[in-house]
Structure 1
Amino acid sequence: MARILGHRVAESLAGRRDAAAGWLDWRRERRGHPLIWLHAASVGEALTADPVLRRLRTAIPAADVMLTHTSPSVSRWPHSLVADHVGYLPPGDRRTMDALFAHLQPVVVVFARSDLWPGLVAAARRHSVPAILLGGTVRPGSTRLLPPVRAALRRTYACLRWVGAVSPEDADRLRRLGVPGGAIHVTGDPRHDQILERSVSLTPAQEILRWTGGDPVLVAGSTEPDDEEVVLRAYQIVAARWPRARLVIAPHEPAPDRTRQLLDAADSHGLHAAVLGAGAPEDTRVLLNRGLGMLADLYLAATMAYVGGGLRKGGLHTVAEPAAWAVPVMFGDCGGRPPTDASRLVARGGGVSLPLAGAADRLAEQWIRWLDDPPSTRRAGLAARATLRGGAADETARAILQFCRKKR
């Protein structure tokens, strides 16, 4: 894990180092078009902003959208994002940022989720450009809420002109961080709009359904290495009672070396695994996904789902994707402080959180319980689906549109 993270950081730093020149060259050819600047750290943040930007594009067809990011995953994302140009966020020093704002002249700077960059927010304030946060969320127990960190970030949050908070609880935490009370609006989560509106590919699910032949399958999505160890150990327990049960594992960042590691890990547990799309032998009970951008469609074939990242504090990936298909969800409990969507799933009976201690046994126990009681599984899936709410993108786009019109 440390080696993977180190590679990501190095790639991000290298990409950011020379990014400013590329942005200046791009804008030179687009003078005269109003510019919306979206900063989304990673793919999840970009997808959260996607339905909002689509609505803004309809309202202001002449506008250009630039998307800056800090994660290499955005550069590798196989699906189109609503942006005219995508690239790394340049270094946040004052000289670089002032040069960018003077040349780019954005009408608004939009942040998604929780990834505020103080240098970018400060530059927006100096150049009288409104800074906006959409899909705003702050995890309970976030280090940002600690007094020293909160004090250091207060000025940054105080500069935000409009914030769309995912929930009342998120709104309260954003207020504690320094966002002016009058700037905060509880909108819900634009990511729900993105999930509900996105185009669907049936191909991945069809392949899984042909492989299962109707057998129940758990799709473990957005997994990290610690999740995969838990899931494989749990599957050993489940398969002893339900030998026809199937497992699909889709790593958070699939890559050839991750696929090899997973094949080896499955083998070490006495499990024969194959790669999705490579023609699984008849006796295969575990499939590994190595395709980027396929996970949301894989959940369509799931009887139940496990979402990774929650075995670490603050790391849980999106649980709304399986919930959209009325699939009940299991996940690590994020140290007892799961994010809004996950808490809502548990409260409404659509999800189960797993403690770090004994996670594999607890996962196997719940997995078997749902296998033994299909009506209960269906009820849990419908409860999960009921947690999704559309409409946040409409409210958010209307608010941003007002700021854009004031600047034009």
Structure 2
Amino acid sequence: MIEGVYRAATGLAGPLIRLYLAHRRRRGKEDPRRFGERLGQPGLPRLPGPLVWIHAASVGESLSVLPLVERLRRRGLGVLLTTGTVTSARMVGDRLPEGAVHQYLPVDRLPYVTAFLDHWRPDLVLWTESDFWPNLLFEARRRDLPLVLIQGRISPRSFARWRRLPRLIGRMLGGFDLCLAQTEADADRLRQLGGGDVRCLGNLKYTVPPLPAAPDELARLVAAIGDRPVWLAASTHPGEEEIVAETHRRLAPRFPGLLTLIVPRHPARGPDIARKLAALGLSVAMRSAGETPRAGTAIHLGDTMGELGLFYRLAGIVLMGKSLAVGGGQNPFEPARLGCAVLFGPRMENFPEMTAQMVAAGAALEVADGTALTEALAGLLADPARLAGMRAAAAAWAEAEAEVLDSVEAALAPLLAAAEARHARP
């Protein structure tokens, strides 16, 4: 019943969906060259042999499954990775191995969904986190496709919302043969909402290799910075750059030559951020303009895409954005993987277990506000031995957590073997 109601509603909403997609195209949120993929029209031929379809909503999710994609390719399985954003398509496009391809996820209308599945005919579907689309999941189950939820995550807010739609979420989660949750709390919420075989094996984000950096560019910036004290505010959101700027102003007299690096979550905000910082009397060098930090530069603004790995390597101390002025938090595992001491604000709701583990391991510190941030940074910058110990703890913790992939592959083994057998030839 609930399935039919949803299909009818999305069918009748066709004209409105088209208008919405056109609006997104005008705003640059859809890829005009590959827009047909959003309507279920394939942009590539189907890969030969057994095919695993992995859906990862956006950048973080898609990067977290890349190690799993590598494992599947070693077994000889083809991989179709779908995402829903232009940014994620750019990020994973050059990182997929041969035999793995990217497509945009079709919009969740039945004609688009059936066209997509008719063309790609996956043998196994791996769905990440909580980006649930009923038509896609119902149609995959109707075709008897094995379904596995990996990286399953249900935040407390999402849990409260889904409890108002118990039949819909119950039907979707009940269609998964296996649900692999990120944390025990996620596993418990998945069970309450209707998940069947629910297990917690860990977080695949722990298996992601260190973010890359161009060696020549890294060497150039290291030479330009020299022995100046330096720290980084990563993936910042509106309101946080002002906190970072004030922290720099307080610390600069105590640490001559201090250089603050800021990498906004959305690089398009770069010019606006630069204007605000300049209005505060701070000298800014913009990466997007090809500017290099010089002796008098206070802030180096990394307003470019895909270069966080470069900036993590430049700074031994990293503040995670989206944790002070706004809530949710950004992934603290990435800087820890590169041996950075990690600071974050009190609003890291997206990573509660991870942040607790990092604090317990001596890899991270929580700061309540801008004043606490200033004090924490001052303590680390003034005590090189303490900073080195915290960086070593972060690297050791990240390395120890990177064994999740073996457990996930073992859990998937029966379904992978079945997919391979369906294409075996005598």
Normalising by structure 1, report the TM-score: 0.86
Instruction: Render the CA deviation track for 1:183-205: whole Å, top value 9, x for unaligned.
Output: 22322222222225x65543444
- Label 1:163 to 1:11 Cα distance change in 2 as closer, same or farther (>3 A): farther
RMSD (Å) for aligned C-alpha atoms = 2.8
1:187 aligns with 2:198: no
Q: What is residue 412 of structure 2 aligned with on the other side?
A: 400
What one-letter code is carried by the residue in structure 1 that aligns with 2:207? D
Q: What is residue 290 of structure 1 aligned with on the other side?
A: 303
Whole-angstrom distance in 1 between the partners of 2:166 and 2:348: 21
Whole-angstrom distance in 2 between the partners of 1:74 and 1:333: 27
Instruction: Render the CA deviation track for 1:342-383: whole Å, top value 9, x for unaligned.
Output: 23222333222334xxx2222112111211222222222223
Match of 2:386 among 352, 355, 376: 376
1:351 aligns with 2:364: yes
Match of 1:365 among 339, 363, 375: 375
Whole-angstrom distance in 2 between the partners of 1:150 and 1:383: 43
Q: Tell me if structure 2 keeps the 8 A contact 1:345–1:387.
A: yes
Q: Tell me if structure 2 keeps the 8 A contact 1:143–1:149.
A: no
Q: Tell me if structure 2 keeps the 8 A contact 1:275–1:288.
A: yes
1:162 aligns with 2:156: no
- Label 1:12 to 1:132 Cα distance change in 2 as closer, same or farther (>3 A): farther
Q: Tell me if structure 2 keeps the 8 A contact 1:142–1:314.
A: no
Whole-angstrom distance in 2 between the partners of 1:335 and 1:80: 28
Higher relative contact order (CA 8 A, sep 6+): 1
Whole-angstrom distance in 2 between the partners of 1:99 and 1:79: 26
1:71 aligns with 2:76: no
Whole-angstrom distance in 1 between the partners of 2:375 and 2:94: 37
What one-letter code is carried by the residue in structure 1 that aligns with 2:222? L
When Rg is computed on C-alpha atoms for both structures, the one with the higher figure is 2
- Label 1:279 to 1:31 Cα distance change in 2 as closer, same or farther (>3 A): closer
Instruction: Render the CA deviation track for 1:215-267: whole Å, top value 9, x for unaligned.
Output: 22111111222222221121111113223221111122323xx2211211211
Q: Secondary structure at the match of 1:292?
A: coil
Q: Tell me if structure 2 keeps the 8 A contact 1:40–1:69.
A: yes
1:18 aligns with 2:33: no
What one-letter code is carried by the residue in structure 2 that aligns with 1:133? L
Q: How much identity, in percent, do the aligned residues show? A: 27
- Between Structure 1 and Structure 2, how many residues are aligned? 390
Deviates more, 1:43-52 or 1:377-386: 377-386
Whole-angstrom distance in 2 between the partners of 1:282 and 1:31: 53
Match of 2:263 among 219, 231, 250: 250
Whole-angstrom distance in 1 between the partners of 2:101 and 2:330: 26
Q: What is residue 266 of structure 1 aligned with on the other side?
A: 277
Q: Tell me if structure 1 keeps the 8 A contact 2:224–2:294.
A: no
Contiguous gaps of at least 5 residues in structure 2: 1-22
The structural deviation recorded for 1:151 is: 5.6
What one-letter code is carried by the residue in structure 2 that aligns with 1:318? N
What one-letter code is carried by the residue in structure 1 that aligns with 2:280? H
Instruction: Render the CA deviation track for 1:36-76: whole Å, top value 9, x for unaligned.
Output: 2111111111111100010000102xx33222211221233
Normalising by structure 2, report the TM-score: 0.82
Q: What is residue 173 of structure 1 aligned with on the other side?
A: 189
Whole-angstrom distance in 2 between the partners of 1:156 and 1:399: 21
